[in-house]
Structures are given as C-alpha cells and as structure tokens.
Amino acid sequence: MTLLRSLAGEASPANIDRRPLVGREPWWRARTGDHRVIYRRLTRDEARILAAPLGGVFVERVIDRRDLEGTTKRL
C-alpha cells in the first residue's frame, strides 16, 4: 500500500490527505479513497524495541469512511 509506505517514510508527507483526530492525540487519520487509516507515530521506545526507523507508524485500523466516527470514539 503506497499510503502506508509514504506515512512511514516521511515525517509530514505533503501528498497525503491526513489530519489529526481532534481530542484523540496522538492519533491521525489518512484518507485513501473510501477508506481511512487510523495511525500514530511510534515512540522512541517502540521504535527501539521493534528495530524500526524513527518516524515509523503504528496502524490501528483501516476502515470504511462511514465507520470513522464510531471507531475513533473507542481510541
């Protein structure tokens, strides 16, 4: 998935429609077609444990856009 590669590769990719989830820090949503990707950046400790590069992301869910509001209430 190109979107996931872009999220993991850059701190702030300019070509992606992404926004912070209001009241749900540190979660973000990225839009791809009719789906939304709910994600957050890995913390330093998580990146170290997973041997992942800093700037890596943890994807909580990929959901249909109609389910975004209900899903974010449970974060």
In this model, does residue 62 exceed pLDDT 70? yes
Name the percent of the chain lying above pLDDT 70.
Answer: 81
Length of the chain: 75
Q: 8-26 pLDDT, tens per residue?
A: 665 556 677 889 998 899 9
Q: What distance in Å separates the CA atoms of residue 48 and residue 35, rounded to the nearest whole number?
A: 30
- Type of residue found at 50: L
Confidence at residue 9, expressed as pLDDT on a 0 to 100 scale = 61
Whether 30 has a pLDDT exceeding 70, the answer reads yes
Comparing CA positions, the residue from 15, 16, 50, 49 lying closest to residue 39 is: 16
| Mean pLDDT along residues 49-57 | 79
